Structure 1
């Protein structure tokens, strides 16, 4: 493994967590390298338009990342957007599309927020969470065969076809997610994030239907 490349990628991941930007010293301390090394790494990332400095010399992500990210899961995002918008309009809740990354985490690939709701849940696209927390991860784990010691919520999700979580990713936020039935290499989940779920079964049915329709489009 290239240590230099690893450190450069660590900087990008660190800047994702701090959208307001970081100083060079913050970056050096954050990835555990000398300030001179951090300076060289940042200059290289700047040359590729992956990060930038403002007039206060704070470093943040730059537009070059958009160009790199655009082709990633493009078909999935293109097909999912109308379904997420429809789900959001029907529930006045924030809808989400997540993908599994490796064995132990999920990434928020797309968020659609309601336009008319008095208040709604807001997440950042690209957010990474541990797979054992939140409805998205629980739904993806429920798609696997049962394992000894798994959470009761996973077994319940396997039975119902969707997972529900309460305050596991963010305080007071309810998550409802179903796995997208697709045989491709990407494991994905589609669902809702909301503050109240007075009719959990109805919302679950809507999520399952949207996930099923997305799976049919991906065939």
Structure 2
């Protein structure tokens, strides 16, 4: 249910877009209606409105998918941060031969994957989808952000440990079998709280990888502050 004081129609329209993000090959109108819990007639009006703004489109089989209008809307989002972060992430990814990620704090309870760069020469690597939301208390990215704040009663041992050594390590918290290593990026007031890190299948030497991540975080911090 939408929050009190908000637009129910807009809420449902955004639900359609979020649903289509999860199904890049597209959905039928009935699947959309069922997916967001509305009548097919309501879903039809929502999709027609989104189509008029090029936010979704139908193929010749009448399956509905995201539209190119979203590219224009998304381009300005944290553009400076993403532009500066890309070469840092690319260098980190190539050095560690692992996927490198940039994560921002979305709200008090969640973090969002803003960007991920995959290694160019690694035989295997971890793949995530940009934009995904995760709980701030799970995964190295969120733990690193929590560790940047003063200690609080009852905090996880991993947060305390991250504060002591300057980077956070998690194992299997976002995806089974995946290790995350992240450090906070000091961005100043113009950007959200941010962390940079690595996601990989195996981390035989987390301290060495942690040093790479901290170096990358400091490099990006210097450019942003």
After TM superposition, the structure 1 stretch with the greater mean CA deviation from structure 2, 136-145 or 90-99, is 136-145
After TM superposition, the structure 1 stretch with the greater mean CA deviation from structure 2, 108-117 or 16-25, is 16-25
After TM superposition, the structure 1 stretch with the greater mean CA deviation from structure 2, 143-152 or 30-39, is 143-152
Q: What SS does the corresponding residue of 1:36 show, helix, strand or coil?
A: helix
Match of 1:82 among 87, 101, 104: 87
Distance across 1 between alignment mates of 2:70 and 2:110:
21
2:9 alignment partner in structure 1: 4
RMSD: 1.0
Q: What SS does the corresponding residue of 1:29 show, helix, strand or coil?
A: helix
Shift of 1:159: 1.1
Q: TM (normalized to structure 1)? A: 0.97
Flag structure 2 segments of 5+ consecutive residues without an equivalent: 1-5
2:192 alignment partner in structure 1: 186
Match of 2:56 among 51, 54, 68: 51
1:124 alignment partner in structure 2: 129
Distance across 1 between alignment mates of 2:85 and 2:137:
24
2:175 alignment partner in structure 1: 170
Distance across 2 between alignment mates of 1:28 and 1:97:
34
Q: What SS does the corresponding residue of 1:98 show, helix, strand or coil?
A: strand
Shift of 1:133: 1.2
Distance across 2 between alignment mates of 1:54 and 1:133:
38
Q: TM (normalized to structure 2)? A: 0.94
1:214 alignment partner in structure 2: 220
Instruction: Verify: 1:96 aligned to 2:101, yes or no.
Output: yes
Flag structure 1 segments of 5+ consecutive residues without an equivalent: none
Q: Cα deviations across residues 36-81 of structure 1 (Å, max 9, x unaligned)? A: 0111001100111111112222211111111100000000000001
Distance across 2 between alignment mates of 1:30 and 1:101:
24
Shift of 1:161: 1.1
Q: What SS does the corresponding residue of 1:120 show, helix, strand or coil?
A: coil
After TM superposition, the structure 1 stretch with the greater mean CA deviation from structure 2, 120-129 or 64-73, is 120-129
Instruction: Verify: 1:200 aligned to 2:206, yes or no.
Output: yes
Distance across 1 between alignment mates of 2:40 and 2:55:
19
Distance across 2 between alignment mates of 1:92 and 1:105:
27
Distance across 2 between alignment mates of 1:15 and 1:160:
40
After TM superposition, the structure 1 stretch with the greater mean CA deviation from structure 2, 54-63 or 208-217, is 54-63
